[in-house]
Amino acid sequence: MPHEIPKTYDPGAIEPRWAEYWIQEKLFSVKTPEPGSQEAAKPMFSLLLPPPNVTGRLHMGHMLNQTEMDIIIRWHRMRGFLTLWVPGTDHAGIATQMMVERQLTEQGTSRQKLGREAFIERVWEWKKHYGGAIQAQMKRLGVSVDWDREYFTMDEGLSRAVREVFVRLYEQGLIYRGKYIVNWCPRCMTAISDLEVAHEEYTGKLYLIRYPVAGDPTQSITIATTRPETMLGDVAVAVNPKDPRYTHLHGKKLVLPLIGREIPIVTDDLADPEFGTGAVKVTPAHDPNDFELGLRHNLEQLVVMDEQARMNENAGPYAGLDRYQARERILKDLEERGFLVGTKDHHYSIGKCDRCKTVVEPRLSTQWFIKIATLAQRATEAVEKGEITFTPENYSKTYFEWMRNIHDWCISRQLWWGHRIPAWHCQGCKEILVARSAPAACPKCGGSKLEQDQDVLDTWFSSGLLPFTVFGWPEKTRDQEVFYPTSLLITGFDILFFWVARMIMTGCHFMADHPQGNVPFKAVYIHTLVRDAERQKMSKTKGNVIDPIEITERYGTDAVRFTLASMASPGTDIAFSESRTEGYRAFANKIWNAARFMFMNLERAGEGACLTQGAPPAEARRLENRWIMSRFSRVAGEVNANLASYRFHEAANSVYDFFWGEFCDWYLEIIKPRLSGTKEEAHAAVAFLGDTFEGALRLLSPFMPFITEELWHAMYEGKAPQKSIALASFPALEQHRLDSQAEEEMAILQELIVHVRNLRAESKVEPKLKVPARVFADQDVRKLLDENRGMIERLANVEKLEFAEASLAQVAGVRTTPKFEVCIVYEQKVDAAAERERLTKEKTKLEGEMANAQRQLGNQQFLAKAPANVVEGLRKRVAEVEILLEKAHIALQKLG
């Protein structure tokens, strides 16, 4: 029997099978549609995927990201969109290089020893190895990647595009080369951008050092510094021109302690009279502020450290020492010779290298920069004008804040893995040639000894070009024409600046003439960040990464996906909780068993019964069916609306509540008798059940693709109308299915049943004992209850439903609602004390509500200003509460 499914739900047995199937069937691959074709007529939805973090395994944060993307993509596909997602490429990730370098160090070697070619080869091997691992992981997650596309594209095509961009920017005057203070990591031995520096709070010391006046040792100026070792590179001391303490020394010279070099006193506003002693030592080669000041005053740039932050030959007696050793020695010497006036604690932050946590050293060096102002202006404008929208909205504020305070971008790196800078240095005349390919000779001096710049480009330089290079730019391809700009970018806020901002800048700049607009994407959804249970950001260096593969193996991918979706409320962080995952694993199990129940009943209904051929029209007129269809349609509407606004958690909750709380707990229980009734009844009931279940599976599918795929195919006994449920249509709100009357009637029945169960529990009726229930209600309700007495008697465990002709208010233990009064006929006296307590509590609550409501209704302002439906609702409620209060009162009296 094709529709027989195993008794136990085992995600491990079904998930890998479908993951494999989706790939083999190329379910999610998209060919660029031909003009005029059927595909081309579909609405388009394309998504940009961030570059994978190639460090071996996806951590939970990436997983969330991909789950959200996958839900969106499946949802759009099921709604009939032509969907494409564009996997981001790992262009030149420096992280990989660092990993390989670490390996080399462990093996007692280094990249320098290995040589450039061999080193790059090693990085490649490493990337391919882990790239494969990532693909396998994504497959396991059920992520519908477009597998046809190349994952790693640090290929010649991309290199060409990168060179093209560089040359164009250079020709447009937007790239320049210059000698500046840059952030330098002495361990990585490369320049890094401002963004790659992590600031850490730190309590250090502020040292006060006395610099004597040249020719007059009785006078001196005391300066304050946190980095005494840099004094070896001092070329001046600056004071504020308006500072009266120092006016008498203007124009004089000071003697640099320990060294004896004479340095001038200069006046500059940089010196803040309020801070320290009001006098600043000036070290242009080792501090960005001093560098600027040095330019203003035409001062020498004296470099005293090498690329590994060791003191160099300019450091005199301290040459060869590490910067911290030098600091200690200098402090000791200063103290011994009486130059150290004092020290005090000082609170400040130090910059560390984002990757290796080495303290960054400001270093004077020649680097390549992008002049960012014009690019940033257009990029800001694109968001201001709403050409690009952010969700959650407030990230646009963060974006603007950054764009407004942006500095020129240092793009050169002294690394080996990456795109080489397309610049050649003439060995003869030192001319620098920027070109698309190696020039044969120097156009200036005719020399043929040309050497390519040793530096490579920042990872994010090439990554930032992704939105158009992925479509073959600079060629004008049809892909580019069709798919640019993409609809959506989903990513984490942590690469908002690194990547998103740069894509917007370059996209707008280079796609300026694209007919569909120059922005690289129309919407940016910033997904939530997953933290561990202690709310720490998961990071590889901290080692608190939850391994998604391990979690999926324990709970199943569907459960994990659902957990992530249900916790993904925009703008918040997620502390991953396994207990939630356990809960959703139980949900998957519930779905599985509901399906088993359905298949069992199909079997039982015998020859001719079918799940997928529709039910007879009469079936649709039954109350429970009208109700479940109405609820289903409403929920489908909610899910669509919530997904459209990236409210994954609400969408997931709606589906969950519907399936478990309404479909399983009520609907299945209600239809049980008919499923085992006459053959006609059973066939009709099974058919309607099949329709409902099939719809529910489609609704669930984006969230739990594996289990829904499995059950959906089982329902069609292997003859499904599509290759995959992911190609079926997604349920939508259908007005004609909404049936408020059915929903109201079912609500009354449910309420009655719950009250009776409650009464039984409180009266401690033995579970197996059926007792009669007595109800007083008006004609309409009575008719409703009478028509559904079978359901009530069974679900409430009632022997017989009886109707009373008069109010039951006098009966002990009666339960009252605005629609009916109900009690059970049971000789055992209710627990008077407990009942009194319950009633008193209820009464107090009602009285409170009443007082509140009456106060409002007596308020003219409220009546005048509140919306009519609110006032009306309150009036209705007051009428109800009045009755309930009176009844509670009577019941209490009765109890004595």
Partner RNA sequence: GGGCGGUUGGCUCAGUGGUAGAGCGCCUCGUUCACACCGAGGAGGUCACUGGUUCGAAUCCAGUACUGCCCACCA
Ranges within 171-200 binding RNA (CB under 7 A): 194-195, 197-199
**Residue 496 and residue 395 in contact, taking contact as beta carbons nearer than 8 Å:** yes
Tell me the DSSP string of 450-508: EEE-S-EE-HHHHHTTHHHHTTTTTS--HHHHHHPSEEEEEE-GGGIIIIIIHHHHHHH
Judged by CB under 7 A, the chain residues 734 through 773 that form the site for RNA are: 754, 757-758, 761-762, 767
Residue (761 or 879) nearer to RNA, CB: 761
User: Nearest CA to 704 among 6, 4, 11?
Assistant: 11
**Minimal distance, residue 192 CB to RNA, in Å:** 11
**Minimal distance, residue 323 CB to RNA, in Å:** 14
Residue (482 or 641) nearer to RNA, CB: 641
**Minimal distance, residue 139 CB to RNA, in Å:** 23
Q: What is the distance between the alpha carbons of residues 657 and 698, in angstroms, rounded to a whole number?
A: 16
Q: What is the distance between the alpha carbons of residues 838 and 836, in angstroms, rounded to a whole number?
A: 5
Please report where in the chains the tokens 């940009």 appear, as a residue: 48
Judged by CB under 7 A, the chain residues 199 through 218 that form the site for RNA are: 199, 201
Provide long-range contacts, Cβ within 8 A and 24+ apart, for 537-542: 538/59, 538/60, 538/61, 540/55, 540/59, 541/357
Residue (134 or 182) nearer to RNA, CB: 182
Cα angle, residue 265 at apex, residues 259 and 271 outer, rounded to 5° = 110
Q: Which of 26, 31, 865, 876 binds RNA (CB under 7 A)?
A: 865
**Minimal distance, residue 229 CB to RNA, in Å:** 11
Residue 668, helix vs strand vs coil? helix
Q: Which of 574, 636, 771, 808 binds RNA (CB under 7 A)?
A: 574
Q: Please give the structure tokens belonging to residue 314.
A: 């300019």
Residue (274 or 513) nearer to RNA, CB: 274
Judged by CB under 7 A, the chain residues 635 through 654 that form the site for RNA are: 647, 649-650, 653
Site string for RNA, 657-676 (x = CB under 7 A): ---x---xx--xx-------
Inter-CA distances, 340 with 286, 330, 691, Å:
21, 10, 87
Judged by CB under 7 A, the chain residues 470 through 529 that form the site for RNA are: 494, 497
Residue (141 or 675) nearer to RNA, CB: 675
**Minimal distance, residue 41 CB to RNA, in Å:** 35
- Which part of the chain contacts RNA (CB under 7 A), choosing from 51-59, 265-273, 431-439, 453-461? 265-273
**Minimal distance, residue 805 CB to RNA, in Å:** 28
Residue (32 or 797) nearer to RNA, CB: 797
Asked whether position 677 contacts RNA by CB under 7 A, the answer is: no
Residue 524, helix vs strand vs coil? strand
Please report where in the chains the tokens 């080869």 appear, as a residue: 121
Judged by CB under 7 A, the chain residues 4 through 63 that form the site for RNA are: 8-9
**Minimal distance, residue 225 CB to RNA, in Å:** 4
**Minimal distance, residue 594 CB to RNA, in Å:** 4
**Minimal distance, residue 131 CB to RNA, in Å:** 27
Residue (445 or 496) nearer to RNA, CB: 496
**Minimal distance, residue 322 CB to RNA, in Å:** 19
Q: Which of 677, 856, 889, 894 binds RNA (CB under 7 A)?
A: 856
Judged by CB under 7 A, the chain residues 709 through 728 that form the site for RNA are: none
Residue (325 or 758) nearer to RNA, CB: 758
**Minimal distance, residue 234 CB to RNA, in Å:** 10
Give CA 497 to chain center in angstroms.
Answer: 15
Judged by CB under 7 A, the chain residues 786 through 825 that form the site for RNA are: 797
Edge-first strand order for the sheet with 361-370 is 190-192, 175-185, 361-370, 409-410
**Minimal distance, residue 482 CB to RNA, in Å:** 34
Amino acid at 530: V
Q: Which of 644, 825, 870, 879 binds RNA (CB under 7 A)?
A: 870
**Minimal distance, residue 302 CB to RNA, in Å:** 16
Q: What is the distance between the alpha carbons of residues 515 and 375, in angstroms, rounded to a whole number?
A: 20
Residue (85 or 497) nearer to RNA, CB: 497
Side-chain half-sphere CA neighbours of 307 within 13 A: 7
Q: Which of 26, 128, 129, 407 binds RNA (CB under 7 A)?
A: 407
Number of residues located near RNA, criterion CB under 7 A: 92
Inter-CA distances, 798 with 11, 12, 25, 296, 752, Å:
39, 43, 54, 94, 11
A 10 A CB-CB count for 498 gives 18
Inter-CA distances, 368 with 175, 616, 832, Å:
7, 75, 86
**Minimal distance, residue 388 CB to RNA, in Å:** 18
**Helix 740-762 crosses helix 832-857 at what angle (to 10 degrees)?**
140
Residue (407 or 436) nearer to RNA, CB: 407
Q: What is the distance between the alpha carbons of residues 713 and 728, in angstroms, rounded to a whole number?
A: 12
Residue (194 or 880) nearer to RNA, CB: 194
Judged by CB under 7 A, the chain residues 426 through 445 that form the site for RNA are: none
Judged by CB under 7 A, the chain residues 341 through 400 that form the site for RNA are: 348-349, 392, 394, 397-398
Site string for RNA, 579-618 (x = CB under 7 A): xx-xx-xx-xxx--xx-xx--x------------------
**Minimal distance, residue 181 CB to RNA, in Å:** 9
Judged by CB under 7 A, the chain residues 289 through 348 that form the site for RNA are: 289, 348
Judged by CB under 7 A, the chain residues 228 through 257 that form the site for RNA are: none
Strands 197-213 vs 216-225: parallel, antiparallel or unpaired: antiparallel
Tell me the DSSP string of 216-278: EEEEEEEEEES-GGGGGG--EEEE-TT-TTTGGGTT-EEEPTTT--EEEEEE-TTS-TTSTTS
Residue (547 or 669) nearer to RNA, CB: 669
| Residues whose CB is less than 8 angstroms from the CB of residue 664 and which lie 6 or more positions away in sequence, other chains included | 590, 594
Asked whether position 577 contacts RNA by CB under 7 A, the answer is: yes
Q: What is the distance between the alpha carbons of residues 290 and 284, in angstroms, rounded to a whole number?
A: 5
Residue (140 or 757) nearer to RNA, CB: 757
Q: What is the distance between the alpha carbons of residues 323 and 330, in angstroms, rounded to a whole number?
A: 10
Judged by CB under 7 A, the chain residues 134 through 173 that form the site for RNA are: none
**Helix 705-715 crosses helix 557-567 at what angle (to 10 degrees)?**
120
Judged by CB under 7 A, the chain residues 270 through 289 that form the site for RNA are: 270-278, 280-281, 287-289
Residue (223 or 299) nearer to RNA, CB: 223
**Minimal distance, residue 409 CB to RNA, in Å:** 11
Helix ranges (DSSP H) in 50-93: 60-78
Asked whether position 867 contacts RNA by CB under 7 A, the answer is: yes
Tell me the DSSP string of 348-416: EEEEEETTT-PBPEEEEEEEEEE--HHHHHHHHHHHHTTSSEEESTTHHHHHHHHHHT---EE-EES-S
Helix (H) or strand (E) holding 199: strand 197-213
Judged by CB under 7 A, the chain residues 526 through 565 that form the site for RNA are: 533, 535, 537
**Residue 314 and residue 303 in contact, taking contact as beta carbons nearer than 8 Å:** yes
Helix (H) or strand (E) holding 639: helix 623-644
Residue (65 or 144) nearer to RNA, CB: 65
**Minimal distance, residue 338 CB to RNA, in Å:** 20
Residue (251 or 867) nearer to RNA, CB: 867
Amino acid at 191: A
Residue (479 or 743) nearer to RNA, CB: 743
**Minimal distance, residue 13 CB to RNA, in Å:** 12
